[in-house]
Amino acid sequence: MMELKSELATIINTLTSKKIIWSDQNAPTPNGDYIAMKISSIRFLGGTDYYSKPDSNELSKTQGDREIVLSLTCISEDGMGILLELINKLELASNLDLLCQSKIAYVSIESDPIDVTTTINNNFETRCVLQLIFRISKNYSSATEDNIKAINSIEISGEANGKQQANPFNIEMTIG
């Protein structure tokens, strides 16, 4: 999960040029404009993950997609403008390489930017929040190998007497 957080922080920093911190860290906040981020949820997209053919040790590689909801809080006098510019930049084809290098895909906006300005010690702190949806590979968040018990061969033997044949016959077969 730390690798995913690092990649997301790099992407958002590159596109906004703002300091990035992770929410809920019980640490001092930076001076000036910054963006606090939090992975709000990881969604399983349904269906079964892909499993490769098991190797000789009966290990199978797995692959699956996940969607993450990334919550951003921009603390800045121009927080709304910064987050709107971020949305515009995420939708530019020229920024696809930045996302692809990190194996992260931008999907959509979960919720529009909202002004949540608050009062701290009789002073206003201008804040704007936004939730974005990204798609990632399961490899960021979980194990990617599974020990599969594979059937290597099947032996069939016996007497076949289908469709009420007068003379049944013996069958011996090995598959695998």
pLDDT tens per residue across span 54-110: 777 777 777 778 899 999 999 999 999 999 999 999 999 888 888 888 888 999 999
Separation of alpha carbons 162 and 96, rounded Å: 61
Q: Is the pLDDT of residue 35 over 80?
A: yes
Q: Is the pLDDT of residue 169 over 80?
A: no
Q: How many CB atoms lie within 10 A of CB 20?
A: 19
Q: 3-state DSSP call for residue 5?
A: helix
Separation of alpha carbons 139 and 98, rounded Å: 19
Residue 96 near residue 73 (C-beta atoms within 8 A): no
pLDDT tens digits, one per residue of 63-75:
778 899 999 999 9
In one-letter notation, the amino acid at residue 1 is M
Local confidence band at 146 (pLDDT 50, 70, 90 cut-offs): low
Q: For residues 38-54, give the mean pLDDT.
A: 78
Q: Which domain holds residue 21?
A: 2-175
Q: How many domains, the chain?
A: 1
Strand ranges across the sheet with 65-75: 19-22, 34-44, 65-75, 127-137, 104-115
pTM: 0.72
Give the residue among 44, 45, 30, 107 at the shortest CA–CA distance from 70: 107
The CA-CA-CA angle for residues 165, 170, 176, to 5°, reads 125
Q: What is the pLDDT of residue 88?
A: 95
Owner of token pair 């709304």: 80
pLDDT tens digits, one per residue of 105-138:
999 999 999 999 888 888 888 999 999 999 987 6
Separation of alpha carbons 43 and 8, rounded Å: 17
Higher local confidence (pLDDT), 155 or 7: 7
Q: What is the pLDDT of residue 176?
A: 63
